[in-house]
Amino acid sequence: MTRSVQALAYSRPSALESARGGRLLGLETSGGLTPTGAEAHPRFFSGFLSSPRAAARGLLAVADVAGARYYRQVPRASLDPVVTGNGDRLRFESFSGCCGVYARLDVGRDGLDGAETGHGTTNVDVNNPLREALSRMTGDDPLHLRVGPDELAVTTLDGAVVEKKVPLPDRWLRGFAEAQVVSAGFDLRAELTAAEAVRFLRSLPRGSGSSSRGAMWVVPAGRTLRPTTRPAPGAVCLPGPHRLVALQRVLRDATALRVYGPVADGAATASAWEVVLPGMRLTLTLSPDPARGFSGEGGVLEALATEEAAEDAELVSVLLAWEPRIDPAELAARAGLTVERVRAALIRLGTAGRVGYDIADAAYFHRELPYDADRAERHNPRLVAARALASSGAVVLDGDLASVASGERRYQVREADGMLSCTCRWWADYRGKRGPCKHALAVRMARREAVVTVGGVR
């Protein structure tokens, strides 16, 4: 697995301290982007939290996921959460080390006591002493949150004094993009009251045995969810219920549980589980199987396979302004593109970490992950292989049919209603549910090149 090293530099450790009239939670930041460009220690927020205990527990849950591997346990290795300021909210995000769980805590205007936030994205330091201090919070005494250096430190910082270097796998970066694409296809399937949410979540298996690791399904039954061993009409897949353990952190303050997912078709699918808290939401999105991370789902590959999407993404990116909700129709009007092309461009931007998707709002949002924006695309195995096939002349087009020479075999790719099927083993195993195979991608590229070569209009 290809890895890079992410170097995080903080001016000092984040800490929870006693202060006059309450406590101060100071979250230190490391190298991020803002509307004015890159900053070493951006400052996004300074104000009181409306629900201190819920916010502290929610932040711990996001940190729990960042430090967890839910499949093939290995020594702990945690990447600090990412925080984005969108003007009216703060979003804290993380991804598990096994690439199968995406976590996000959205703290809205009500949760921030009505205060405005800055704009931009950066990592925040969540160290072990801070985790221990947050875990000891039991009451709702006033809590002042500062994201970024205080006003005095802004003018006196003379270099980082805290450094962290952590491995950053390419598949971890691809997982961010794939989780966004998968989530965009979810609908609200069930909503439970606080009492029923607590009862249901506490009934789930938490251990590492087969009962907690396999996929199960749940169906709405009155005011609760009823587990079932097979998908039924209206069922939602819960793949690896032990991966919801981070939600236990916030059950005391939960006001509701919302469950999102696609229409059940008999196969295990991804799903999202959102705990509603006072002024905020904590969401965990689970991959279809604990042994199957989001990085291999392939939902972004169609958008990455065309130069048109690359050009559209460059245009659309100029129009983004850290919006908490991105309206594709509005963007399409401003960019002079169709809504379909804007959506493809947003998928491509998501691969670079530049947009995310909020299921509750059913909308994209602008953020800029503080990582190499092109690395995930450059090292996507299927995309790299498809480009090699297309550039080597391995693709022969014949109307709706195409043949692709790969290794010692030749595969047939057929197009019907805009969808490509292939005679390879990948297609036989997944039938397009994990994105196109490398042969289908190569055909897409070859068809596009053929159009351009004969003077077609993009």
Tell me: the pLDDT tens digits for 283-342? 999 998 888 778 655 556 666 666 677 788 889 988 999 999 999 999 999 999 999 889
**Strand pairing report for 143-147 and 22-27:** parallel
Does the residue 419 lie in any domain?
yes
**Percentage of the residues of the chain whose pLDDT score is greater than 70:** 86
Domain stop point among 120, 138, 167: 167
Domain stop point among 117, 149, 167: 167
pLDDT above 60 (res 457) = no
* Confidence bin at 157 (pLDDT 50/70/90): very low
At 192 the pLDDT is: 96
| Domain, as residue range, for 61 | 3-94+105-167
Does the residue 18 lie in any domain?
yes
Does the residue 347 lie in any domain?
no
Mean pLDDT on 94-110: 92
pTM: 0.84
Does the residue 261 lie in any domain?
no
Does the residue 421 lie in any domain?
yes
At 225 the pLDDT is: 93
Does the residue 89 lie in any domain?
yes
At 50 the pLDDT is: 94
Tell me: the pLDDT tens digits for 71-86? 765 445 567 899 999 9
Domain stop point among 167, 199, 219: 167
Domain count, the chain: 2
At 167 the pLDDT is: 73
Mean pLDDT on 112-116: 84
pLDDT above 50 (res 191) = yes
Does the residue 82 lie in any domain?
yes
* Confidence bin at 256 (pLDDT 50/70/90): very high
pLDDT above 60 (res 154) = no
